[in-house]
Amino acid sequence: MRARSAVLRLCVVVSSLLLAACGGGGGSSALPAANLAPQPGNGAGSGAPASVAFTIQIPSASSSGSKRRPRYVSAGTKSASVAYGTNRQVVDCTTTCSLQMTVLPGTVTFNVGLYDASAGGGNLLASGATTTTIVPGQQNSVNITFAGVVASIALLFGAGSVAAGTPASVPVTVTAKDAAGYTIVGSDPYATPIALSVDGSGAAALSTSSVSSPSSTVLLNYNGSSNVSALHVSASVPGTNVAAQSPALAVQAPAPPAGSVPAHVTTYYYYGINGTNASIPASWMAAHADYVEDDGDTVAHASAFKAAGGKYAVSYTDPAYVPYCFAPFSGPQASCQGQVGKLVTDESAWFHGPDGTRTRSYVDAHFGYKEVLNPASPAAQDAYRKTTQAILANGPIDYFFADDAGGVYIGSDGTEMTGWFWGFNAPGTEITTDADFIVANKKMLAAAAKPVVLNGSTPYTMLPSYNGAWLDSPNVMAQNFEGCFSDDNGAVAGPHNNRWVYQSNALLATYAHRTNAVCMMYANPTPANRVYEMASWWITYDERYSIAAPYTSYPLKDGFTVVPEYDVVPRQPLTSPSGDVSSMRSASGAYVREFAACYQAGAPLGPCAAVVNASSSTESMPILSGRYTSSLVLDDASEYTGGKANWTGTIPTSLAPQTALVLR
Mean pLDDT for 136-157 is: 83
Per-residue pLDDT at 552 exceeds 50? yes
**Phi and psi at residue 197, to the nearest 5°:** -150, 155
Give tens-digit pLDDT for 89-133.
999 999 999 888 878 888 889 999 999 999 999 999 999 998 988
Q: Read off the pLDDT of each residue in 551-579 and give the average, rounded to a whole number.
A: 92
Helix 499-511 crosses helix 527-539 at what angle (to 10 degrees)? 50
Instruction: Calculate the dihedral angle through the C-alpha atoms of 325, 326, 329, 331, rounding to the nearest 10 degrees.
Output: -100
pLDDT of amino acid 3: 44
Which residues in 130-150 are b (16+ Cβ under 10 Å) and which e? eebebebeeebebebbbbbbb
The pLDDT of residue 37 is above 50: no
For residue 259, the model assigns a pLDDT of 62
CA distances to 444, 457, 483 from 422, in Å: 20, 14, 18
- Tell me: pLDDT of 399 over 70: yes
Angle in degrees, CA 224, 660, 496, rounded to 5: 120
pLDDT of residue 526: 95
Q: What are phi and psi of 83, to 5 degrees?
A: -120, 145
Question: 20-29, 337-346, 535-544: which has the highest mean pLDDT?
Answer: 535-544
Residue 522 in this model has a pLDDT that exceeds 70 = yes
Amino acid at 99: L
Three state DSSP letters for 242-272: CEECCCEEEEECCCCCCCCCCCCCCEEEECC
Express each pLDDT in 60-87 by its tens digit.
Answer: 776 544 444 446 789 999 999 999 888 8
pLDDT, average across residues 634-644: 96
pLDDT in tens, 219-250: 999 987 766 778 989 999 998 888 676 778 88
**Segment (H or E) for 649:** strand 645-649
Q: What are phi and psi of 421, to 5 degrees?
A: -110, 25
3-state secondary structure of 605: strand
pLDDT at 141: 66
Q: Among 52-61, 406-415, 643-652, where is mean pLDDT lowest?
A: 52-61
Query: What pLDDT, on a 0 to 100 scale, did the predictor assign at position 153?
Result: 93
CA–CA dist 75, 184 (Å, integer): 10
Q: Evaluate whether 522 touches 484 at the Cβ level (below 8 Å).
A: yes
| CA 3 to the chain's CA centroid | 46
Measured between alpha carbons, how far is 373 from 648 in angstroms, rounded to an integer? 52
17 has a pLDDT exceeding 60: no
For the segment 582-594, the average pLDDT, to the nearest whole number, is 96
Report d(CA 660, CA 664) in Å as an integer: 14
pLDDT grade, residue 467 (50/70/90)?
Answer: very high
- Compare 613 and 225 and report the one with higher pLDDT: 613
Q: Kindly give the residue spans of alpha helices, DSSP state H, lying in 432-579.
A: 434-446, 465-468, 499-511, 527-539
Length of the chain in terms of residues written: 664
Q: What is the pLDDT of residue 87?
A: 86
Q: Is the pLDDT of residue 433 over 90?
A: yes
- What are the structural domains, with CATH classification, of the chain? 9-148 (no CATH), 152-252 (2.60.40.10)
Asked if omega into 328 is within 30° of 0 (cis), the reply is yes
The answer on pLDDT for 592 being more than 80 is yes
Phi and psi for 274 in degrees, rounded to 5?
55, 20
Per-residue pLDDT band for 52 (boundaries 50, 70, 90) equals: confident
Mean pLDDT of 203-219: 92
- Higher per-residue pLDDT: 59 or 31: 59
Percent of the chain at pLDDT above 90? 68
* Beta carbons within 10 angstroms of residue 59's beta carbon: 24
Q: What is the dihedral of CA 115, 121, 127, 130, to 10 degrees?
A: 110
Q: Which of 559, 567, 533, 535 is nearest to 637 (CA)?
A: 559
| DSSP single-letter state for residue 147 | E
What predicted TM-score, i.e. pTM, was given to this entire model? 0.68
* pLDDT at 47 (0 to 100): 63
Determine the pLDDT at residue 16.
30
The pLDDT assigned to 505 comes to 98
The string of pLDDT tens digits covering residues 324-377 is 999 999 888 898 999 999 999 899 999 999 999 999 999 999 999 999 999 999
State the pLDDT confidence band at 167, using cuts at 50, 70 and 90: confident
Residue 409: strand pairing partners? none
Q: Please give the Cα distance from 516 to 513 (Å, whole number).
A: 9
pLDDT at 524: 93
Average pLDDT value for residue range 199-218:
89
Q: Are 573 and 551 in contact (CB under 8 A)?
A: no
Cα 228 to Cα 231, 253, 541, 626, 653, distances in angstroms: 7, 9, 24, 8, 22
Q: Is a pLDDT exceeding 90 seen at residue 170? A: yes
Q: Helices 434-446 and 378-394, interaxial angle, to 10°?
A: 30
Residue 136 φ then ψ, to 5°? -65, 150
Of 115-119, 183-187, 350-354, 505-509, the range with the lowest mean pLDDT is 183-187
Mean pLDDT across the chain: 88
- Residue 297: the pLDDT is 86
Helices (H) and strands (E) in the chain, counts: 7, 40
Which residue from 571, 641, 563, 569 is spatially nearest to 600, judged by alpha carbons? 569
Within 10 angstroms of residue 9's Cβ, the number of other Cβ atoms is 17
Residues 6+ apart with CB under 8 A from 334: 328, 347, 358
DSSP string, 38-62: -B--TEE-SSS-EEEEEEEEPPPTT
In the predicted structure, residue 466 carries a pLDDT above the cut 90: yes
Res 227: pLDDT: 67
The single-letter DSSP state of residue 288 is: H
- pLDDT in the model for residue 29: 31
Mean pLDDT over 190-200 rounds to: 90
